[in-house]
Structure 1
Amino acid sequence: MAIEALPVDCISHIISFTSTEDASRLAAVCKTFQTAADSDDVWERFLPSDHPEIVSRADERLDFSSRKELFFCLCSSILIDNGRKCFSLEPTRCKKRFILSARELQITCGESPVNWEWIPTPGSRFPETAVLRDVCSLEIMGKIDRRMLSEKTNYAAIIIFRITDDSYGLDFPQQAFIRTGDLMSERTVYLQPEEPHFPRLLLPVNPNSKFAWIADERVGIPLKRGNGWMEIEMGEFFCDEGDDMDVEFSLTEVRGWHWKRGLVVEGVEVRPANWAPCTIV
């Protein structure tokens, strides 16, 4: 008996154990497979279990009439939580990604107009960004609940920023930290896009610390994102099944005590490592 002779709901059940790419390919085989592959039963399996909550937090009403349409709505970046976060799904692995806006971060002296300015920036997905006017101690911190993320997934935390033409004091190395439970990792990063010529400043491991420290030997340098934005990976962490603790991350430069200006912070992206966006027809 040909497989297309099976009941459509049976074929849908089988397809639901494949992938989004396979479902899209199978939809092109024949009319029966198209009906089965496009069914809500298939695409419900590809959606995150908390998708009703995510939809309810969207700033604008999502227009969809099927689970497949909803899936691709979520693959496009949507603003949630009154414009303070951005959410999207990776189309192939169905992993969740969040971008925390600058307003979701804790920035030392961030509310002082002498030190930081909060203004719209062309090309930003958020209503406002944090623009550094003048500080000698740079500290940007944030956190995310691991229950918001996809389980059994290796994630990276990435700061998204620009450097203005009138910047100064940002050509010194910064330290990036990731803390999950009793584990803390640290790496040296450079905000300036030019090739760094400064020594790395790894903090000494404190033997009395309650944290297990990992000194990441990789040096973070800026990568271009488009629209003038750059990114630097601050570190990686693993989100295991049942994890319910916050992941904390930070970018600091507090040793030089020299004045700094011209850093524009859009936010911090928490995305699956080796993020691979693509288009599925």
Structure 2
Amino acid sequence: MEEEESEGIIYLSSMPEGVVANILSLTTPSDACRSSAVSGTFHAAAQSDILWNNFLPIDWESLVSRRKTSDLNFDPISSSKKEIFFSLCDCPLLIDDGNKSFSLDKWSGKKCIMLGARDLKIIWTDTPDYWTWISHPESRFGEVAVLLQAWWVELRGKISCKMLSAATTYAAYFVFKMNERYYGFDIVPADAKVGIVGGECCTISVGLDPYLDNSQRKRQRLVWMGSNTPGHRQRLRWMGSKTHAPGINMSGMALPKERHDGWFEIEMGEFHNNGGDDEVEMVLKEVNCNYSKCGLIVQGIEIRPKKSVLHR
């Protein structure tokens, strides 16, 4: 078997570089990078523009032209296609007046889009008593939405399927933080749903408190709340010594996960993009709680391919 495999590698390595590059383009970017260790021919093919041009989306130049500023980490004309590919993976570009970002998934080459808070429809953000807009040093966007106080939280986002890679299963993730004095998100779960507009979609329950299952952090927050306003002290007595509010059931409920960039995200749902003129709508809302909420910082909703999707 080893002898046959060796002969197969020798045979492939004897092919012209362009042929090998075309063969590698039928795999994935990660496979192509690994193949460069096979032989000199494979190494050269794994660097070629023929290969990486196939991994780049057909409309990447059009999306790049929609960027907010002229700042790029590559030259669209002189940079190699491999340099362009990995720049778009590692450095999301702000597009559409800086309200969206565009990047590539380095494992599959699929397009990833994040809708910034300004690109979402968030109820009551035009009421200064409820929400405010600020710049945040850790956000990729110019502004984030911060909840000052409200009883309801509801936000919606839409995106055209044309902006995404066809024949791909995507998931939508709500990306957020909580400030140090947040409260009100540990009483009832929020509802999230994602789907093609006009099609069927299911609603799932999600917990927005990042520390709902962290009893130590919860106790620290209860101490802080007990020393704050009379209303918060009353809520503290109602909660008693429990680490989360009575009635909330964490079993089977999606909980936030911390991202590599320090923000939290929670999966809202998934959909399959068949291409065409469809739109996808994403909804997150919590409208069933009689207690006010405060401290939610909204960066946006990110739409990216599911990790199980390995091929273009």
TM category (shorter chain) comes to 0.7 to 0.9
Partner SS, residue 118 of structure 2: helix
The code of the aligned residue for 2:192 comes to A
The question of 1:221 aligning with 2:246 is answered no
d(CA) in 1 for partners of 2:73 and 2:308? 24
String of CA shifts for 1:77-124, please: whole Å, max 9, x gaps. 322223212222122222221111111100101122221111112322
Instruction: Percent identity, please.
Output: 39
In structure 2, runs of 5+ residues without a counterpart are: 1-9, 214-243
d(CA) in 2 for partners of 1:129 and 1:259? 20
The code of the aligned residue for 1:233 comes to E
Q: Match for residue 33 of structure 1?
A: 42
The code of the aligned residue for 2:189 comes to P
Within the candidate set 145, 156, 163, 1:148 is matched to: 163
d(CA) in 2 for partners of 1:274 and 1:9? 30
Larger helix share, 1 or 2 = 2
d(CA) in 2 for partners of 1:68 and 1:89? 12
Which runs of structure 2 are paired with 1:221-240 in the superposition (5 Å)? 221-240=255-274
Give the C-alpha shift of residue 236 in structure 1: 1.3
d(CA) in 1 for partners of 2:14 and 2:24? 15
Give the C-alpha shift of residue 276 in structure 1: 9.1
String of CA shifts for 1:211-269, please: whole Å, max 9, x gaps. xxxxxx942211112454211111111112x3421111111122224322111111111
The question of 1:51 aligning with 2:60 is answered yes
For the 8 Å contact 1:173–1:198, the answer to whether it is kept is no
The code of the aligned residue for 1:119 comes to I
1:21/1:191 Cα in 2 relative to 1: closer, same or farther (>3 Å)?
closer
Larger strand share, 1 or 2 = 1
Q: Match for residue 109 of structure 2?
A: 94
Give the C-alpha shift of residue 46 in structure 1: 0.8
Within the candidate set 269, 273, 279, 2:306 is matched to: 273
TM-score (norm 1): 0.83
The question of 1:122 aligning with 2:122 is answered no
d(CA) in 1 for partners of 2:246 and 2:203? 17
1:52/1:258 Cα in 2 relative to 1: closer, same or farther (>3 Å)?
same
Partner SS, residue 259 of structure 2: strand
Moved more, 164-173 or 268-277: 268-277
Moved more, 168-177 or 98-107: 168-177
For the 8 Å contact 2:208–2:256, the answer to whether it is kept is yes
The code of the aligned residue for 2:87 comes to C
In structure 1, runs of 5+ residues without a counterpart are: 202-216
The question of 1:17 aligning with 2:41 is answered no
The code of the aligned residue for 1:264 comes to I
Q: Match for residue 74 of structure 2?
A: 63
Moved more, 80-89 or 127-136: 80-89
For the 8 Å contact 2:154–2:283, the answer to whether it is kept is yes
1:157/1:166 Cα in 2 relative to 1: closer, same or farther (>3 Å)?
same
Q: Match for residue 264 of structure 1?
A: 297
1:275/1:228 Cα in 2 relative to 1: closer, same or farther (>3 Å)?
farther
- The structure number with the bigger radius of gyration is 2
1:102/1:2 Cα in 2 relative to 1: closer, same or farther (>3 Å)?
same
d(CA) in 1 for partners of 2:51 and 2:119? 35
Q: Match for residue 77 of structure 1?
A: 91
Give the C-alpha shift of residue 62 in structure 1: 4.0
Give the C-alpha shift of residue 5 in structure 1: 4.0
Moved more, 192-201 or 122-131: 192-201
Partner SS, residue 50 of structure 2: helix
1:273/1:199 Cα in 2 relative to 1: closer, same or farther (>3 Å)?
farther
For the 8 Å contact 1:77–1:86, the answer to whether it is kept is no
Q: Match for residue 211 of structure 1?
A: none
d(CA) in 2 for partners of 1:235 and 1:3? 42
For the 8 Å contact 1:8–1:35, the answer to whether it is kept is yes
d(CA) in 1 for partners of 2:61 and 2:93? 15
Give the C-alpha shift of residue 43 in structure 1: 0.9
For the 8 Å contact 2:103–2:112, the answer to whether it is kept is yes
d(CA) in 2 for partners of 1:22 and 1:170? 43
Moved more, 84-93 or 14-23: 14-23
The code of the aligned residue for 1:262 comes to G
Within the candidate set 186, 195, 199, 1:182 is matched to: 199
